[in-house]
Chains A and B, each alone.
Chain A
Amino acid sequence: MPTLDKDKGIADAVEYFVKEEKMKRRGNVQLSEALETLERVSKSLGISADNIIALCEVAASGRHGDDISCKLIRCLIPAKEFPDRAVMVSISYICSNIPSSKIQAMLLRLLIAVYDYIDKKETLQKLGYLLFCFIENSILTPYICHLLYLLTRKEDVRLFRVRKLLDLQTKLGPQSYLIGLLSIYKLYFPNLVSIVIPSTKKHFFPTRDRQWCSIIREVQEGNQNIETSHLKLSLELSEKLRAAETTMLQGIPPAKRRKMEPIPVVHSSRSNLTVKMSSRLIAMLEEKPIPFVQIPDIDTLLRNPDKVELPSQMGAALRSPLLQCFMSYSADPLMTCRFSYWLQDTLCDELLDSTVTPSCFPRIESILEKLIQFTEFIQEGIPAVDQILFRYLQVWNGMDFRQHMFRLITRCRLYPFSLLNENVLDPLRKLYVRTSVFIKCQITMCLTQLLRNYVVVEIHRYNQKYPDSKPSVSIFEDDIGPFEPLSTVQGLIQFVDRLNCAGLTLENNHNLLLHFTLTFSEMVSTLYTRYDLPCVYLPSRHIIRAFLTDNAMGPARLCGIINRYKENCQKLKNDLKGTESEAVRLRLKETVHSLNIVIMDLCDTLWRRKAFTHGRTDSYFNFDSTLLDGGSNDGLSLYLHQAFLPFSLLFLKETQPKEHIGHPRGIQEVRDTFMEFLQRENISEVKEFITNTITRYRLSTTTVT
């Protein structure tokens, strides 16, 4: 109940201050009571956000006179957070000439005291630099400097401000508050501020409000114990972050020998900084290249692309998306060269050279992550990364940074196959044969994506570059001469195919691995129809493994793949008629031959019920007839195949009376309906295959069309 009383009391007090227009100072009992309530409540519980806003307006307007306003301001101790609306109100009043300078100073002191508890600091950061106009007001200067010291961000540091402060310093002498503000500027831009900040000085802003601050903290802590401690946590975090930022900017390693974050910060260029102070000031006034750090957004960048002064270390591009934009926009060979040199040595240092312990893993992972983001952004691999990758894969244990490595591999450039095989594929093969099925799947997926990268991006880039030898088709130039790009792709397909064959044998047709194998085959089967690459490659005989699984995914997707191969071959055959590329035609002929074998096999088993009595010697199912049971011929037919048997049963249950379901063999008569049923169960590939292949259906469809 007492809390209610207090709430009421404080509400009354606030209302009194807000409503009252003119009030007597002397002997005004109501006034002194209201003030007393306010002080007592604020020092014990703090004041709610709404009340703070209301009182802030009253106090800042100064309509009750300086003394009362100051007392009110001192009472603005936030219960939880200091509302940003109150910040806006106070800054607006400071900027107007309504309140006296005493109240202005008091408001500034308030903002400094509650700075850590302001709920949205963005408002303060946006408005804060308005106060810079009052920097010459001798009463306000120390407080303004202190507040600006707290809220200065990197983009706030501007040349004219530095000059103003330096001017002021010559006028007033070395005041600690000016040095304090300059020190934070120097932290961000050491090249703009040439004065030496004494290292012994730690407290630039001696405060008179220590007691006030401690009350605020006590109130906050008291409230926190009641509620959650999230604010405290975030405060600690922000302090930590600020400390980290400071040390990082100064270039001091946090601990004595700890390794620094290897990606540099965006600094302005340092190559021409020897000019004396006075001439530098003059130079500042002239039209000059804009240092990259001062470009806030992409619009500014695009408005002055020719005036941009690059940062001193191009490695900072991994940190700054804007610099990445600029790099890909200008594609300046010097810029990319600087970046490549840096990247090569950095990665070399991080991955290959130093004695890496698990404690550095987060750091290395973050670099790799940034690198991958960058390559995703520019949509191309970086030759320097490939070089490091080539070496690292040789000593890789297959465990560290696995995801990152696979993602980097998928962005690999196009190389002659022997080079690719030796440096990338061979290490992966070694890893493949001795790891679990999950890593096998990852490797297959990675290589599928590599193939996609080749056929979608790299081949086209190669064709643009040669034979016209156009130089700038990519941001990062590689210096590999002309070679046969198609043979690399073909080599890769063959390699993955063999790998899959071995993998499926090792893992006993593991379903997951089968899925990835089939995904790869699906990709290969559409190389010409979808990616316009005159290349056909039929997987080796292991593809029939997919047909023999007990999972409907295998046979169904195989039918789909064969369908697409057929389309691919037909289209290629038609398009090849005019041209005379003998090699491709020969390969096509071979492929069509082996494709026909698979098609015949599938038809014989699924449809014609003569899986083993077809009489073809080149069939996948060519066994000695004496070993076979005569009734086994339809064992792999559409309705008896182990993968489709559940569907047959389901079909029978749906169509037959419950007490007399019958044998699945009976479906033979209604195969068309069963195919419809399968289509309904999302296995449409089988129907497509049959209608495309079996003469009866093909003829009927052609006559219809």
Chain B
Amino acid sequence: MATKQKPSSESYATPQNGNTLKSRLSQRFTPRRFTPYGRTPQSRRITTVLSTTQGKRKTVRAKSKTQSESVAESEEFKGFINKTWRVFKLSPLYKFSSSPKDLKRYGQLLSSCFVAASQKGMFVENNISGKAMFCVQEGLKKSEYDPDAVQILIKGKRTTGTTDTALLTATLCGVEMEEEQLSPDVKDHFMYYPVLLVKSTVALTDVLITWLQMHFDCKVTPMIFPPVHLAWMIGMWSGALANTNRKKKPVELVYQVPSECEGIKKVTYTIEAEDCLKVWNSIHDHRSDMFTEEEMTTFLSCLEEHFYSLFRIKLNAMQLSCVGTSLCYIGREGLLKIYSEEHVISILRHLTELSVEHFNLV
């Protein structure tokens, strides 16, 4: 007992041996709950912002658009919804070009790479054959700084099936970027896509990523959403479906229980969308299109306090690991499922913003 508690000034042992410094790696995001590393902005936009040619920003809410417009637009994004995507961030692609000729060439190259990989026996299902296609995806270029979004498809037959199915769907995009991210001297040689969405098997995704990394000298890494980012998302999007008539999915928060508590892994906290909206409306100033940091923390602590008053469990001591709203479901490890066509752009814009923040570190 007495030997254990030495005053720290006398113990010359480096803290590696003592308990003074516990490795925080397992819970890297906890110590700074609302400031991850560096800064998060004071406020974020909730819905789409369209920039006009004069460079002045005119804020338009998705819901205020005419019905036909939004229907036409949401038709384009049918492909995004109700699929589980993996979200990646990329460093700028060296010598990538989105001209049709080059895209065709990339298709051939990726196809042969895919064939080689399947012959090496990298996939569980052997002998799947496939053909890769690259094409420009319309509708995602919203600002002048956005690159042309590129869709990558690998279609092929599985051993069991007879018809062609999409084995891999991927989208390279950057939506509503606010300024040129690359310095002018190297701008011509690089193409910067902040976000890559992939839907496929793990092995195929690996093939695509390795191929991208080898051909365009880039680094593709999964986008990890620390709790603070998830908190922003739940704050911003809980009230975003205010005026639509769609059947609303409940708001869901999944908390990871610290490893010290044995027996329980996570706490899932589900709230009816309407109830959540009431809280949201009382916190957020409905005239503003921006959601502030203060509103975000207030909103989240409201929900957490409610839980505490019911169950005496302090959720703010745990890590947020997944959030779900009517718009989408997002997991910490970069999993994304979008439910609402109208908000595809908002969601992608937010992901772009997060990725760009990462890219411009200081």
Determine the distance from Cα of A196 to Cα of B118 in the docked complex, in whole angstroms.
11
A263-287: contact bitstring with B at CB < 8 Å (1 yes, 0 no)? 0100100110110000000000000
Query: Is the beta-carbon distance between A338 and B217 smaller than 8 angstroms?
Result: yes
Note all chain B residues with C-beta closer than 8 A to A395. 24, 28, 31-32, 37
B121, CB-defined interface residue at 8 Å: yes
Total A residues in contact with B, Cβ cutoff 8 Å? 61
Determine the distance from Cα of A313 to Cα of B189 in the docked complex, in whole angstroms.
15
Q: CB-nearest residue of chain B relative to A273? A: B109
B190-227: contact bitstring with A at CB < 8 Å (1 yes, 0 no)? 10000000000010001000100111011101101000
Note all chain B residues with C-beta closer than 8 A to A438. 12, 14
Interface of chain B residues 149 through 207 with chain A (CB within 8 A): 183, 185-186, 189-190, 202, 206
Min CB distance, A252 to chain B, in Å? 6
Note all chain B residues with C-beta closer than 8 A to A508. 9
Query: Is the beta-carbon distance between A267 and B219 smaller than 8 angstroms?
Result: no
B12-26: contact bitstring with A at CB < 8 Å (1 yes, 0 no)? 111110001111111
Note all chain B residues with C-beta closer than 8 A to A391. 37-38, 361
Query: Is the beta-carbon distance between A342 and B217 smaller than 8 angstroms?
Result: yes
Query: Is the beta-carbon distance between B119 and A270 smaller than 8 angstroms?
Result: no
Determine the distance from Cα of A313 to Cα of B214 in the docked complex, in whole angstroms.
6
Contact partner of A399 among B23, B89, B361, CB < 8 A?
Answer: B23
Contact partner of A313 among B16, B213, B358, CB < 8 A?
Answer: B213
Determine the distance from Cα of A440 to Cα of B115 in the docked complex, in whole angstroms.
57
Determine the distance from Cα of A199 to Cα of B120 in the docked complex, in whole angstroms.
5
Min CB distance, B266 to chain A, in Å? 15
Note all chain A residues with C-beta closer than 8 A to B361. 344, 387-388, 390-391
Query: Is the beta-carbon distance between B222 and A353 smaller than 8 angstroms?
Result: yes
> By CB atoms of chain B within 10 A, which of A314, A348, A352, A434 has the most?
A348
A381-417: contact bitstring with B at CB < 8 Å (1 yes, 0 no)? 0000001101110110111100000000000000000
Contact partner of B14 among A257, A358, A439, CB < 8 A?
Answer: A439
Query: Is the beta-carbon distance between A507 and B32 smaller than 8 angstroms?
Result: no
Min CB distance, B205 to chain A, in Å? 12
Query: Is the beta-carbon distance between A313 and B217 smaller than 8 angstroms?
Result: yes
Note all chain B residues with C-beta closer than 8 A to A353. 221-222, 224
Query: Is the beta-carbon distance between B14 and A341 smaller than 8 angstroms?
Result: no
A311-350: contact bitstring with B at CB < 8 Å (1 yes, 0 no)? 0111100000000000000000110011001101110110
Min CB distance, A367 to chain B, in Å? 13
Determine the distance from Cα of A344 to Cα of B221 in the docked complex, in whole angstroms.
11
Determine the distance from Cα of A349 to Cα of B14 in the docked complex, in whole angstroms.
28
Query: Is the beta-carbon distance between A356 and B202 smaller than 8 angstroms?
Result: no
Determine the distance from Cα of A438 to Cα of B8 in the docked complex, in whole angstroms.
12
Query: Is the beta-carbon distance between B12 and A437 smaller than 8 angstroms?
Result: yes
Q: CB-nearest residue of chain A relative to B186? A: A337
Query: Is the beta-carbon distance between B219 and A341 smaller than 8 angstroms?
Result: yes
B362, CB-defined interface residue at 8 Å: yes
Determine the distance from Cα of A314 to Cα of B217 in the docked complex, in whole angstroms.
7
Note all chain A residues with C-beta closer than 8 A to B78. none
A667-699: contact bitstring with B at CB < 8 Å (1 yes, 0 no)? 000000000000000000000000000000000
Determine the distance from Cα of A550 to Cα of B121 in the docked complex, in whole angstroms.
73
B129, CB-defined interface residue at 8 Å: no
A198, CB-defined interface residue at 8 Å: yes
Instruction: List residues of A whose CB falls within 8 A of some B CB.
Output: 190, 196-199, 250-253, 257, 264, 267, 270-271, 273-274, 312-315, 333-334, 337-338, 341-342, 344-346, 348-349, 352-358, 387-388, 390-392, 394-395, 397-400, 419, 423, 434-439, 479, 506-508
Could you pull out 5 A-B pairs where Cβ atoms are within 8 angstroms? A273-B109, A349-B219, A353-B224, A355-B28, A395-B32
Name the 8 nearest CB pairs between A and B, nearest first: A345-B219, A387-B361, A391-B37, A341-B91, A349-B221, A345-B91, A353-B224, A397-B24
